[in-house]
Structure 1
């Protein structure tokens, strides 16, 4: 298959807002791909090279994107091999060798192919909502049930592997994909609830109400003495969190997969600032900050997979695992089948302890990874959203010379790029303004006199009073009184809230 065919399919996907049309274009391409081409084609259309980030910046690529080939000649294997060689080039003199490899690749590429490569290698093609479209396309191309594809993806964590499995072996091969201790599972997510009363009315009495912590999501796998820890984005952080490893290693089991959150606590047991928790996951980790784990789900225990069991069964197994007195503090606080009054007490207790709110979960629900469904709903007293930063404007007055007013985008549920829903300069400290001013130019895809337009890489959490209808923005909705709470380095644009979540905050909506 020619690389130009992939570029053309990507352009067709970008040219339509129809989810069905996007999936059809991708499915048509996958049907034409040979066996060894399926994995790279799938990864590219989802915006992620198989090789991951290869460490090439805009400046280098900008120098190379010239004198394109007149006619397409690159094949999919050609490009995949080039990216593999590029990712493996390290050590003394590697910068020059990497630039030579890139120059060879770009010289053989047409103008359209060069533009695609620039966007692919800088992460600009990465659109989280497109993941769901690609899964639909895989199901259509392989003529298999979409549910089978989604389950295999949940368990493997790889779109490329899921596509290759579906197209090579169909439903039988997909069904053979199982949870594997040591391979992270995509986490189940909670959708926003408007109020505790509304969520309880929606889900009924057969629920558990648990604390919603202001921490970092973790998934911990144990296999004998080997313990490994991943973040919400499935980035392994085992070496940086020895206290979490030690606590899970002390549990009375041989194998386990635990889901939970971790955060730093002060001497009084109250949560420290979110930044303190996240300081443990950076390149310069602050080892003086100790993390405490709180587990709320159990996906596997001693050879038994629990994913398909109702939450009530998983919680029983978790309670038994953490039954010893020395392990009781590892359990997320909550109450099963509470009365409305008891549920309100859990929420009040969470807020009094310094946490964000509660999560209400249906006890009959299996573990549905990677989805924000009705089965789990989070309730916070203040509306908050995770949005993508699309740009920033230069400030004036006291903020002159600083990038201040940020442009906010919600994730397009139909697979397009983030949709702008508002701007804000509220809630920013001087330190945050300095950080934005120093950081944003390196992420800029366009620079103007008024400010910068950014690649969709950063996620910021904002508080807001609600939403209102607005013809000013393409999604027809705008934020009301949005203010910055913090940036979320633990989340990617694929984790941002959708345009539908913003619309759900419309008065009477």
Structure 2
């Protein structure tokens, strides 16, 4: 298949709003792929590279050669070139990788270059994620969509499922099952602004779990063999000896557990997410008399790491000693979990009958330094890989009034509009603005049109990628927290920032200060 045809499909999907029309476009492209091209092509249609790590970052995507006039690339050839790029390592690797990347781009037309940039940057944003691809695979292979979704949930690999469906049909899909040692896509939670709205989705009675701001882990045990996987299904077993030790100390011989690993300070309170995820904090030994109990096996393993203690806390059990549990109601899985796992390794959980009880559980979680809660319907099965109404997360929402410092031109469906905002907080000591990150979330088509006109009027430098503007426009931004970051001059960055509204009633001099951001970062209340 020509790479240009796949790029044209991607562009058409981005320009199409209807789900059914998107599915038809994607299904047509899947049918046109040669069998060896399906793993790469199916992934690209979902915005994912088959090669998880390529070494190509934003800096590598600047100063690229002009596009080719005529298309010559095939899907197979592009996949092979990306393999070569991903394999580069050792002395001089940066120059060799840049040369290979330049050659690939030089052979690509303008439309093909846009697809390549979206794939390498992870920002394809064509509106075709895994759920939509499941429908398209079913349409292309003429199999029930439920069979595709089931196989996808159990395998966690869209590319493998696409190959099976297109090559072997329903019979091949039926061969997928939960296999201990092979990770499956985790069940996800919707978001709600309050526990009241969460309970509207789940109904009552409901279970309220403490939401930990850690690393999502899925742990598989078969005898003495233990493997730990992240939410993205990457294996991290060697990096989390405390998790391995804790699971090895359990009596069951065969387990698949779902949970979080989190760093704790000496009082047993959670460390910032970045310290958990990078294990860059100094080594600490949480006290067993603190707020959060730590299993002895975890402490013993932590003594050997010289790093921050990562403690696992589990909230679901998917397999136990030969029996798959994913189709059982939550209450049955959680009862089995309580019988198989020591209480010190369980996420805090309460059963509630009304909003008042749920609100009290939420307040207690926040007071303990946790991220929030997840409200769960006890009768729901484990819907792997899906973000349904059975699990609903609730977190406190921060908002700040920040100033737009620059805007990036959009791509895909946002081509021709100014999209990604560079956000800054006011430094009252210098009168300057300190950049805290970027966001394109929360922008409607109406806001995109308005801000394109507004920021072109404020422009002081118009680049092909970024338009720098006078720091005058205030925007209200919601976010989940502030994390340490060496990427920005203030040493901090907003987590999951999204636009709430533009504040035409405020001047830049009235925007929030960098001091307010530091207070949120430190966990202090702001005025």
2:28 alignment counterpart: 28
Residue 153 of structure 1: how far off its partner (Å): 1.6
Partner of 1:311: 330
Q: What is the deviation of 1:335?
A: 2.8
2: distance between equivalents of 1:119 and 1:371? 24
- CA displacement 1:334-382 (0-9 Å, x = unmatched): 23465666545534443443334432211111111232221112234x3
1:64-463 equivalent positions in 2, closer than 5 A: 64-66=64-66, 68-125=67-124, 130-280=129-279, 287-322=306-341, 327-336=342-351, 338=353, 343-380=358-395, 382-383=396-397, 390-393=420-423, 398=429, 402-404=433-435, 407-410=438-441, 423-424=475-476, 435-437=487-489, 460-461=495-496
What is the aligned length? 446
Inter-CA distance 139–426: structure 2 relative to 1 (3 Å threshold): closer
My pick for the range that moved more, 80-89 or 50-59, is: 50-59
Contact 1:240–1:281 (Cα < 8 Å) also in 2? no
Shift of 1:2: 1.0
Matched with 1:18 is 18
Q: CA deviation at 1:308?
A: 1.1
Structure 1 residue matching 2:183: 3-state secondary structure: coil
Question: Measured at CA, do residues 316 and 384 of structure 1 come closer, stay the same or move farther in structure 2, by a change above 3 Å?
Answer: farther
8 Å contact kept, 2:481–2:494: no
Task: State the alpha-carbon separation in 2 of the partners of residues 209 and 430 from structure 1.
Answer: 25
Contiguous gaps of at least 5 residues in structure 2: 285-304, 400-418, 452-473, 505-515, 523-527
**Change beyond 3 A, Cα 1:266–1:116:** closer
TM-score by length of 1: 0.75
For residue 48 of structure 1, report the CA deviation from its aligned partner: 1.8
TM-aligned CA deviation for residue 23 of structure 1: 1.9
2:56 alignment counterpart: 56
* Gaps in structure 1 of 5+ consecutive residues: 441-457, 473-482, 488-509
Residue 262 of structure 1 and its aligned partner are, at CA, apart by: 2.4
What's 1:39 paired with? 39
Separation (CA, whole Å) in 1 of partners of 2:177 and 2:132? 23
Report if the CA contact (8 A) 2:483-2:494 is conserved.
no
Q: Is the Cα–Cα contact under 8 Å of residues 425 and 434 in structure 2 kept in the other structure?
A: yes
Q: Report Cα offsets for 1:84-105 as digits up to 9, x if no partner.
A: 2222233344444434433443
Does the CA-based 8 Å contact 1:296-1:331 persist in structure 2? yes
Distance 1:471 1:32 in 2: 49
Q: What's the CA shift for 1:396?
A: 5.8
Whole-angstrom CA distance in 2 between matches of 1:411 and 1:219: 31
Structure 1: distance between partners of 2:202 and 2:490: 46
Give CA-to-partner distance per residue, 1:35-65, whole Å, 9 cap, x none: 1121111111222221223113455444442
Supply the distance in 2 between the matched residues of 1:184 and 1:384 (Cα, whole angstroms): 34
Q: Displacement of 1:406 after TM fit?
A: 5.0
Distance 1:287 1:112, change over 3 A: same
Deviations 1:442-477 (A, max 9, x none): xxxxxxxxxxxxxxxx9824599xx67x899xxxxx
- 1:65 counterpart SS class: coil
Q: RMSD across aligned C-alpha pairs, in angstroms?
A: 4.1
Distance 1:486 1:224, change over 3 A: farther
Mapped contact 1:48–1:120 kept (Cα < 8 A): yes
Residues 403 and 433 in structure 1, CA contact (< 8 A), matched pair in contact too: no
Comparing 119-128 with 237-246, greater Cα deviation is found at 119-128
Contact 1:384 1:461 in 2 (8 A): no
Instruction: Report SS of the residue matched to 1:436.
Output: coil
Greater shift after overlay, 230-239 or 347-356? 347-356
Deviates more, 1:70-79 or 1:298-307: 70-79
The answer to whether the 8 A contact 1:295-1:332 is kept is: yes
- Give the direction of change, closer, same or farther, for the CA distance of 1:126–1:201 in structure 2 (3 Å limit): closer
TM-score of the aligned structures, taking structure 2 as reference length: 0.73
Confirm or deny: 8 A CA contact 1:403 1:437 kept in the other structure.
yes
Partner of 1:369, secondary structure, is coil
